[in-house]
Chains A and B, each alone.
Chain A
């Protein structure tokens, strides 16, 4: 299975990258932008999708400071 893991800062934890992007967009003339958060995307092929959650908890994300979301991606 081709999987896609989205990792983002936990809500409530200061996300200075998100704030920096949120401030930069209006400088380019884009209005009405809020709640910007910057995270990571990990794409991987796995034989057993049941392993994904443990992979996230043990390596791909730090559950103390990050939330993760596992998505199935189209193969290829």
Chain B
């Protein structure tokens, strides 16, 4: 797998995402002003504060030249992963349903979160077991997932709710404890927890985040990666 990690002005988890992806393949950085995706197999939109989060989180980043290419890549079935701010950008770009609202308690929350795999049949979770519990950190102020109730029903029935915070550990007031969702086709996935910060037990409380990157490598390479 050769991954491309987008770097916006204000991205701050791009290098961690690159290092995480490099554990299961190659990874290059994609500068926001360059529309060329360099022939990568998948795109990761990382966490941070793209364009200072001005106006509304993710609102300006979606118009970056690189994002036009990412949208076209996703429409053709390419794998796109959005983490935290990347998730917000993918929602603003219309690649994922719903939106992220300020945490219900209005505080920045930085904590290890227990997350359950609801759908283990996606290219981003296929290395996980259904119902498997992952320990992955969250760190955000605007992570409360929102979509209208009828849309949430439809998404749940279609398997688009991929990750959920374990009962009692919802860190932000997300509707239905949603931590991560995919699009209808299943090739675009966004989540608020940071799998790239949980790839080595030396520096994280777990290495569970690696399952996400290993899943993508499996999906791209057609083999078990890690």
- B99 near A59 (CB under 8 angstroms)? no
Residues on B with C-beta less than 8 A from A13 are 101, 146
Q: At the interface, is chain A mostly helix, strand, loop or mixed?
A: mixed
Question: Once bound together, how far apart are the Cα atoms of A14 and B104, in whole Å?
Answer: 8
Question: Once bound together, how far apart are the Cα atoms of A29 and B99, in whole Å?
Answer: 36
The answer to the question of A3 belonging to the interface, with a C-beta cut-off of 8 Å to chain B, is: no
Question: Once bound together, how far apart are the Cα atoms of A65 and B144, in whole Å?
Answer: 12
Which of A17, A60, A64 meets B102, CB within 8 Å?
A: A17
A38 to chain B, nearest CB (A): 10
- B99 near A16 (CB under 8 angstroms)? no
Question: Once bound together, how far apart are the Cα atoms of A65 and B213, in whole Å?
Answer: 31
- B55 near A64 (CB under 8 angstroms)? no
- A60 near B101 (CB under 8 angstroms)? no
- B92 near A62 (CB under 8 angstroms)? yes
Q: Please give me the residue from chain B that is nearest to A16 by CB atom.
A: B106
Task: Give A15-44 as 1s and 0s: 1 = Cβ < 8 Å from B's Cβ atoms.
Answer: 011001000000000000000000010000
With A20-B106, A65-B146 as known contacts, state yes or no: A14 contacts B55, CB within 8 Å: no
With A62-B56, A62-B59, A65-B146 as known contacts, state yes or no: A17 contacts B173, CB within 8 Å: no
The answer to the question of B159 belonging to the interface, with a C-beta cut-off of 8 Å to chain A, is: no
Q: Please give me the residue from chain B that is nearest to A20 by CB atom.
A: B106
Q: At the interface, is chain B mostly helix, strand, loop or mixed?
A: loop
Task: Give B46-77 as 1s and 0s: 1 = Cβ < 8 Å from A's Cβ atoms.
Answer: 00000000011001000100000000000000
With A16-B105, A16-B106 as known contacts, state yes or no: A60 contacts B99, CB within 8 Å: no
Q: Please give me the residue from chain B that is nearest to A14 by CB atom.
A: B104
The residue among B63, B101, B105 with the most chain A CB atoms within 10 A of its own CB is: B101
Question: Once bound together, how far apart are the Cα atoms of A59 and B92, in whole Å?
Answer: 9
- A65 near B106 (CB under 8 angstroms)? no
Contacts A/B (CB < 8 Å), 18 sampled: A14-B101, A14-B104, A14-B144, A14-B173, A16-B103, A16-B104, A16-B105, A17-B102, A40-B55, A59-B59, A62-B59, A62-B92, A62-B99, A64-B98, A64-B146, A64-B147, A65-B99, A65-B101
Residues of B within 8 A of A (CB): 55-56, 59, 63, 92, 98-99, 101-106, 144, 146-148, 173
Closest 6 CB pairs of A and B: A16-B106, A65-B99, A64-B99, A16-B104, A16-B102, A20-B106
